[in-house]
Chains A and B, each alone.
Chain A
């Protein structure tokens, strides 16, 4: 079974600075999908960014980018120019390429943004 590990329960960053959240995963599959979700206090999970394992290029969405290291099974999220609205729980998630499979989540990293 696949597992996802987020080793940083809490992180903090100064406003306008850059922060990197770590995520590692374990799988025997060669093709899969990786996601970062954000959960603000409203509890609504919001997709931040998605990476397809067969793509070598790292995904980027505005201030959010990933460092995908397939051999190391690492998928870190970099937030540039951090804003107060970025404060939230961030979850890394894995999805198998097989159909009809749920997301497998890490335990999350709580990010605080300091003004």
Chain B
């Protein structure tokens, strides 16, 4: 079946602009995660959605970052007033359930460059 998809693949924007990144999880997966991968760094957790529960926003670095998940499926990560330090690869992952042993399946990511 189809895997996790993300769009756009690459995004170049000017400092101060808003950007939206999209994630389509695997059909039927209830858990969805956003991670950020900065150059030379590991993945940093941003936000987590599970079913209809309130999301875990504990990893969001500032109030310029927000995310939503509509209908328990597609998710959008929005970065307002982008800064150069926001440049990174943004990865989305989904899993069938939130249980810790469940494999998280990752999308190919969106590479964001803020000029």
Interface residues of A (CB under 8 A from B): 4, 6, 32-33, 37, 42-47, 50, 52, 91, 93, 95-108
Assess whether A102 is in contact with B100, with CB atoms less than 8 Å apart: no
> In angstroms, how far is the closest chain B Cβ from the Cβ of A72?
21
Inter-chain CB contacts under 8 Å: number: 64
Using CB atoms, name the residue of chain B closest to A105. B42
User: Is A43 in contact with B98, judged by CB distance below 8 angstroms?
Assistant: no
Interface string of B54-67 (1 = CB under 8 A from A): 00100100000000
A52: contacting residue among B41, B48, B101, B107, CB under 8 A: B101
Q: Is there contact, CB below 8 Å, between A103 and B99?
A: no
Q: With A and B bound together, what is the CA distance between A102 and B33 in angstroms?
A: 7
- Interface range, B side: 20 to 34
Residues of B with C-beta under 8 A to A37: 106
Given contacts A43-B89, A96-B100, contact A102 B42 (CB under 8 A): no
The distance in angstroms between the C-alpha atoms of A54 and B19, with both chains bound, is 43
Q: Known: A91-B43, A103-B45. Is A45-B103 also a contact (CB below 8 A)?
A: no
Q: List 22 A-B contacts (CB under 8 A).
A: A6-B42, A33-B101, A37-B106, A42-B108, A43-B109, A44-B106, A44-B107, A44-B108, A44-B109, A45-B106, A46-B106, A47-B104, A47-B105, A95-B100, A99-B100, A100-B50, A100-B56, A102-B56, A103-B33, A103-B35, A103-B43, A107-B42
Smallest Cβ-Cβ distance to B59: which chain A residue: A102
In the complex, A46→B59 CA distance in Å? 23
A50 contacts across to B, CB distance below 8 A: 101, 103
Contact A45 B91, beta carbon cutoff 8 Å: yes
**Set of chain A residues within 8 Å of B101, measured between Cβ atoms:** 33, 50, 52
Using A45-B91, A102-B45, A103-B33 as known contacts, list a sample of 17 further A-B pairs with CB atoms less than 8 Å apart, ordered by residue number in A.
A6-B42, A32-B100, A33-B100, A43-B91, A50-B101, A50-B103, A97-B100, A99-B98, A100-B48, A102-B56, A102-B59, A103-B43, A104-B45, A105-B35, A105-B44, A106-B42, A108-B42
Which A residue's beta carbon lies closest to that of B58? A102
